[in-house]
Amino acid sequence: MHLANQISTLVAAKCTSKLQITDSDFSKQFKSLVKGKLQQLRHDFQQKYQQDAAWKVGSLEILESVVFAHEEMSKKNLEDEWVLKAAIRNGILGYIPSGGKLQKVTECSWAQAEGFQMGTKIIPSDWFKDRFSWLSPDGKPIEPDWSLSDSASEIADLQRWHYYSKEDEQNDSADEGQHLELVEIEGELEEQLELSRYNILTISGILMVLPEEVELKVPQKVKTFQWPAFRQLSREEMRLMLQQLYCLPEDGLGEVDLLAGVHKDTVLLEDQHIQMGWSLLSWALQKSGAAIPSDQFGIVDSALTRNIALQVHVEYKQFLIQKLKNHLERHSVLCVPIFSENPSHWTLLVVDQRFSPAQLRWYDSLQHQSQDAIQAATLVAEWLQLAGFEPLRVNSAFQDNSDCGWWVLNYIEVEARKLRGETITLWPGSRVQYWKSRLIQVSASLAKELSKVQTQLGNDIKKRQDKEKKAQAAKAAAEEKLSSMKNKESAAAAKAKELIETNSLRVTWKDLTLEEKHQIKSLLGAPEVQETQLQADIGRAPSEESSGKRRKLENKEVENQEQAILSHAESFQMTIDSYTEEKVQQEKELKEVQQATFQQLSERTDHPVHRD
């Protein structure tokens, strides 16, 4: 009783049934609910099968009735607090600690407001009045008078006799020897119990494992992965996510997918949302320094598995199979999101190839399994040639609404954490709610970035078109003047024609689009460029500076990036003449040659030739 922090007490004979809550308030109602549920099950069975079969009570019916009764009693307790009321009425709950003293429950304001009283018709309240007599007026226990207790004096005499008696010590040596034998036997049994985890059950018997055959495993403490703040998501990283989602327009000519937004009322996720969640998880792992190598962990594009589940592109079956197998060859642990219809539902198949044979884990958050989901998962397993797949889910928590896609993202994160060696402590329902807020936030950020990219791309295309028009007009004017020459086959005419073609094809840094500049930066990959880009990303974080100062900083960062790119332009044979002294010198030389050529043409013709 001391270990349980309880005070021992005596219950008078034949009073247990009157004091125990199970007997006074629970049993009768519980049995009535169980009986009513069994009658309902009997009625449902008779309505369904009529006279074709006889109804019998089995384990399933008993469990359903007991669970139903338990849930009803729990609901009732939430409504009228019958457990608390019975505990006070039966005298089990008499005091509560309050301000360093014990206060009577019946004197509390909340108990008086609810009408809680101590005592019943069978047990009058007068029977409980003496139990409050051992408290002082200020609510503190009074020191007991042990002289009034016969048992206390007997215990004291026993302790005195044990102290002076030596009879117990006569058998100490024998007891000690027996104790040592028990310790040795206990150690052997513990070792056998530990080794039994590795034993193999065969048809002929159990294959035992010896202690020397077990390799010592030293657990390593793994730091728990923490999600970074979304303000650390730079524009370059958002562009990379859009590119992975096939939503980033590169030149304004190719086809791109529309970005599907995620809102508070979004229930069923699309395949693009699953891929968006995977891109977000990859970014978070990389940003927090907990990145998992790509050959250890990966995911199949959910659009591919969706097409398989919906039986689209049947004519490309072999191509899809090979594409799936390529994923399986690249990753030790592969997550395969699977979509099925009737009802529309997402599940997750995990192939863990760290073991031989590979372990298969199937996550299905639907409370009542769907045959279409089982068939879709079985189809994918057959295409991947995964022997031994059984549609037995490994999760024990299930969805409440049509939020299966959120649960799939949750289980992908769980698999990544387990692969890192983390211990999963957060309840799945809470992780699902976190995923909803994350995807809503990153979806809005990607939509804003996409709008900026589209606006910039439109401006770049318009500038290029305007410059092309001007170049074509200048070229046409030069060709018209060249056509007026008498001797069109002369060396001067050929040189002038060559200059026209060269200048019309000349491209500068200003002529490049935003995407082309981005590709040049990626190709260069110089440490100076990367360092400048990192500083630019940090500079884009929210600060207390005014918008004018921020624009100046961004302009300065762009200038630094351009200078770093220009220092490496020669190695990639980029024609960025206007930004280097060498190209400027070449332009001067070309102008001098052009002037001399037109001067010669003017001297050889009857009328002067003007250069536009």
Q: For 329-343, what is each residue's pLDDT tens digit?
A: 899 999 999 988 888
Quick check: 333 and 417 in contact, CB under 8 A? no
CA gap 10, 231 in Å, rounded:
64
pLDDT of residue 424: 81
Choose from 144-153, 254-263, 378-387 the range with maximum mean pLDDT: 378-387
pLDDT-based confidence at residue 170 (cuts at 50, 70, 90): low
Range 147-154, long-range pairs (CB < 8 A, 24+ positions): none
pLDDT of residue 573: 41
DSSP state, residue 142 = P
pLDDT of residue 5: 57
Distances in Å between the Cα of 4 and the Cα atoms of 7, 140, 155, 423, 501 are 9, 21, 22, 30, 97
| 132-149 average pLDDT score | 76
pLDDT of residue 275: 92
> Which residue has tokens 């460029």?
529
CA gap 545, 18 in Å, rounded:
74
pLDDT of residue 139: 78
pTM: 0.48
pLDDT-based confidence at residue 197 (cuts at 50, 70, 90): confident
Helix (H) or strand (E) holding 411: helix 404-420
CA gap 174, 376 in Å, rounded:
69
| 493-507 average pLDDT score | 62
Residue 554 pLDDT exceeds 70: no
pLDDT-based confidence at residue 16 (cuts at 50, 70, 90): confident
Higher pLDDT residue, 465 or 30?
A: 30
Higher pLDDT residue, 152 or 375?
A: 375
CA gap 338, 330 in Å, rounded:
19
Helix (H) or strand (E) holding 339: strand 333-340
- For 251, half-sphere exposure in the C-beta direction (CA atoms, 13 angstrom radius) is 5
**Residue 250, token pair as written in the block:** 């590169």
Higher pLDDT residue, 560 or 601?
A: 560
pLDDT of residue 464: 78
Q: Give domain limits for the chain.
A: 16-146, 175-218, 230-444, 462-604
pLDDT of residue 30: 93
CA dihedral of residues 440, 442, 445, 451 (deg, nearest 10):
-90
Quick check: 513 and 521 in contact, CB under 8 A? no
Lowest mean pLDDT among 91-100, 330-339, 399-408, 472-481: 472-481
Lowest mean pLDDT among 86-90, 119-123, 158-162: 158-162
Higher pLDDT residue, 80 or 156?
A: 80
pLDDT of residue 442: 93
Considering the chain, what percentage of its residues have pLDDT values greater than 90?
19
CA gap 27, 18 in Å, rounded:
12
Quick check: 432 and 406 in contact, CB under 8 A? yes
Quick check: 378 and 409 in contact, CB under 8 A? no
CA gap 96, 424 in Å, rounded:
37
Task: Name residues whose C-beta falls within 8 Å of residue 45's C-beta, 6 or more positions apart in sequence.
Answer: 53, 55
pLDDT-based confidence at residue 561 (cuts at 50, 70, 90): low
Superfamily of 230-444 according to CATH: Adenoviral Proteinase; Chain A (3.40.395.10)
Task: Name residues whose C-beta falls within 8 Å of residue 561's C-beta, 6 or more positions apart in sequence.
Answer: 521, 529, 532, 533, 536
Q: Which pairing describes strands 95-98 and 101-104: parallel, antiparallel, or unpaired?
A: antiparallel
Task: Name residues whose C-beta falls within 8 Å of residue 179's C-beta, 6 or more positions apart in sequence.
Answer: none
| 77-100 average pLDDT score | 87
Mean per-residue pLDDT of the chain: 76
Higher pLDDT residue, 472 or 97?
A: 97
Lowest mean pLDDT among 94-108, 361-375, 396-410: 94-108
pLDDT-based confidence at residue 563 (cuts at 50, 70, 90): low
DSSP state, residue 254 = S
pLDDT of residue 127: 80
For the chain, the C-alpha Rg in angstroms (whole number) is 41
Residue 519 pLDDT exceeds 70: no
Written as one letter, the residue type at 163 is Y
Higher pLDDT residue, 6 or 119?
A: 119
Choose from 67-76, 121-130, 384-393, 556-565 the range with maximum mean pLDDT: 67-76
Quick check: 278 and 305 in contact, CB under 8 A? no
pLDDT of residue 539: 36
CA gap 598, 603 in Å, rounded:
9
Write out pLDDT tens, residues 440-465: 999 999 999 989 888 888 887 888 78
Residue 65 pLDDT exceeds 90: yes
pLDDT-based confidence at residue 488 (cuts at 50, 70, 90): low
| 315-341 average pLDDT score | 85
